[in-house]
A and B are shown apart, each in its own frame.
Chain A
Amino acid sequence: MNCQMCQNYIDNELSLLQTLGLLKNQKKLICQACESDFAVITMSCSGCGRQQKSTQLCRDCRRWQQQGKILLKHTALYQYNDAMRSFMQQYKFNGDYKLRGIFNSKFIQIIKSLSKDVIVPIPVSENTMKTRGFNQTTGLLEGIIYQELLQVTTIKKSHQSQFNRKARMLRQQPFTLKESSISLRGKHVLLVDDIYTTGNTLYHAADLLYSAGAINVKSISLAR
Chain B
Amino acid sequence: MKAYYGRQLLNPKIEARPKNLITLPTFIDSVCQRCGQKNTEKLPNNHYYCCGCLTLGRVSSHDVLLHLPEPNEFDGKAALSWQGQLTAQQQVVSDELIQTLLYKREHLVWAVTGAGKTEMLFPVIHHALQKKYRVGIVSPRVDVIIELAPRFRAAFSETDMVVLHGAQTEDYRYTQLVLATTHQMLRFKSAFDLLIVDEVDSFPYDGDKMLVHAVKHARKASSALIYLSATPTKKLQKRVTSKDLTVSYLPLRFHQHLLPLLKTTVVGHWRKKLPSKFLRQLKKFYQEDRRFLIFVPKVSDLRRVYQGIKQCLPDIAGDYVHASDPERQEKVQKMRDKDIQYLVTTTILERGVTFPGIDVLILGADEPIFSENALVQIAGRVGRNHDRPTGLVQAYIRHTNLKVIAAQNQIKKMNQRGRRLGGHI
- Write the residues of chain A forming the contact surface with B, with a CB cutoff of 8 angstroms: 94-98, 127, 130-131, 133-135, 138
Contacts A95-B60, A97-B41, A133-B49 given; does A127 touch B54 at CB 8 Å: no
Considering the chains assembled together, what is the distance between the CA atoms of A95 and B44 in angstroms? 12
On whether the beta carbons of B41 and A131 are closer than 8 Å, the reply is no
Task: Find chain B residues with CB under 8 A from A135 CB.
Answer: 44
**Contact indicator B49/A95 (Cβ below 8 Å):** yes
A133 touching B14 by the CB < 8 A rule?
A: no
Given the known interface contacts A133-B60, A133-B62, the answer about A97 and B13 at a Cβ–Cβ threshold of 8 Å is no
Q: How far is the CB of B2 from chain A (nearest CB, A)?
A: 26
Contact check: which of A94, A98, A131, A133 meets B44 at CB < 8 Å?
A: A133
CB distance from A164 to the nearest CB of B (A): 24
The answer for the CA separation of A166 and B61 in the assembled complex, in Å, is 37
CA distance A94 to B57 in the complex (A): 6
Q: What A residues does B15 contact at CB under 8 A? A: 131
Select A94's contact among B12, B47, B58, B62, beta carbons within 8 Å. B58
Provide 10 A-B residue pairs closer than 8 Å at the C-beta atoms, listed in order of the A residue.
A94-B54, A95-B60, A96-B41, A96-B51, A96-B54, A97-B41, A97-B43, A127-B14, A130-B62, A133-B49
5 A-B pairs with least C-beta separation: A133-B43, A95-B58, A131-B12, A98-B41, A130-B14
Q: Are A130 and B12 in contact (CB under 8 A)?
A: yes
Contacts of B60 in A (CB 8 A): 95, 133
Known pairs A131-B62, A134-B44; list 5 more (Cβ under 8 Å): A94-B54, A130-B14, A131-B12, A133-B47, A133-B60
Please indicate the chain B residues that have their CB under 8 angstroms from the CB of A94 in the complex: 54, 57-58
Is B273's beta carbon under 8 Å from chain A? no
Docked Cα-Cα span, A135 to B47, in Å, equals: 13
CB distance B42 to A97 under 8 Å? yes
Chain A residue with Cβ nearest B57: A94
> How far apart are B393's CB and chain A's nearest CB, in angstroms?
30
Chain B 255-285, CB-CB to A under 8 Å as 1, else 0, gives 0000000000000000000000000000000
Question: Could you say which interface size class chain B belongs to?
Answer: 10 to 19
Q: Mark out the residues of chain B between 33 and 89 whose CB falls within 8 Å of any chain A CB in the assembled complex.
A: 41-45, 47, 49, 51, 54, 57-58, 60-62
Q: How far is the CB of B326 from chain A (nearest CB, A)?
A: 13
Q: How far is the CA of A52 from the CA of B51 in the complex (A)?
A: 38
Residues of chain B from 1 to 42 with CB closer than 8 A to chain A in the complex: 12-15, 41-42
A interface footprint on B164-202 (CB within 8 Å = 1, 0 otherwise): 000000000000000000000000000000000000000
Separation of A133 and B50 alpha carbons in the complex (Å):
13
User: B47 — which chain A residues lie within 8 A by C-beta?
Assistant: 133
Interface centre among A95, A133, A134, A135 (most CB of B within 10 A): A133
Q: Closest approach, in angstroms, between the C-beta of B53 and any C-beta of chain A? A: 12
User: Which residue on A lies nearest to B13, using beta carbons?
Assistant: A130
- Residues in B with CB closer than 8 Å to A96 are 41, 49, 51, 54, 58
Question: In the bound complex, how far is the Cα of B45 from the Cα of A98, in angstroms?
Answer: 15
Assuming the contacts A133-B43, A134-B44, asked whether A97 and B12 have C-beta atoms less than 8 A apart, the reply is no
Task: Please name all residues of chain A whose beta carbon is closer than 8 Å to the beta carbon of B12 when the two chains form the complex.
Answer: 130-131
Q: How far is the CA of A119 from the CA of B43 in the complex (A)?
A: 22
Give chain B residues whose Cβ lies under 8 Å from the Cβ of A95. 49, 58, 60
CA–CA, A127 to B13, complex, Å?
11
Q: Are A134 and B58 in contact (CB under 8 A)?
A: no
Nearest A residue to B41 via CB reads A98
Does the CB pair B14–A134 fall under 8 Å? Answer: no
A residues in contact with B49, CB < 8 Å: 95-97, 133
Bound-state CA distance A98–B58 (Å) is 12
**What are the residues of chain A within 8 A of B41 when measuring CB–CB?**
96-98
Report the bound CA distance from A134 to B44 in whole Å.
6
Is A131 within 8 A of B43, CB to CB?
no
B221 CB → nearest A CB, Å: 33
**Which residue of chain A has the shortest Cβ distance to B12 in the bound complex?**
A131
Taking a contact as CB atoms under 8 Å apart, the answer to whether A131 and B51 are in contact is no
Closest to B324 in A: A6
Query: Cβ of A134 and Cβ of B54 under 8 Å apart?
Result: no
Report chain A residues within 8 Å CB of B44: 133-135, 138
Q: Which residue of B lies closest to A135 (CB)?
A: B44
Closest to A99 in B: B41
Contacts of A127 in B (CB 8 A): 14
| Residue ID in chain A nearest B60 by CB atoms | A133
- The residue of chain A having its C-beta at the shortest distance from the C-beta of B47 within the complex is A133
Q: Provide the bound-state CA to CA distance between A138 and B51, in Å.
A: 21
The CA-CA distance from A44 to B61 in the complex, in Å, is 41
Closest to A95 in B: B58
A155 to B14, CA, bound (A): 14
How many angstroms between the C-alpha atoms of A68 and B12 in the bound complex? Answer: 42
A134 CA to B48 CA, complexed, in Å:
10
Q: Smallest distance from the beta carbon of B411 to chain A beta carbons, Å? A: 31
**Bound: A138/B43 CA distance, A:** 12
Residues in A whose Cβ lies below 8 Å from that of B45: 133
| Nearest CB on A from B225, distance (A) | 29
In Å, the complex CA distance between A96 and B50 comes to: 9
Contacts of B54 in A (CB 8 A): 94, 96
Give Cα A130–Cα B15 distance, bound, in whole angstroms: 10
**Closest chain A residue to B45, Cβ basis:** A133
For the complex, what is the distance from the CA of A130 to the CA of B47, rounded to whole Å?
A: 10
CB distance from A199 to the nearest CB of B (A): 27
Q: Closest B-chain residue to A93, C-beta based?
A: B58
Closest Cβ neighbor of A6 among chain B residues: B324
For A98, give the chain B residue with the smallest CB separation. Answer: B41
Q: In the complex, which residues of chain B have a beta carbon less than 8 angstroms from the beta carbon of A133?
A: 43-45, 47, 49, 60-62
Question: What are the residues of chain A within 8 A of B14 when measuring CB–CB?
Answer: 127, 130-131
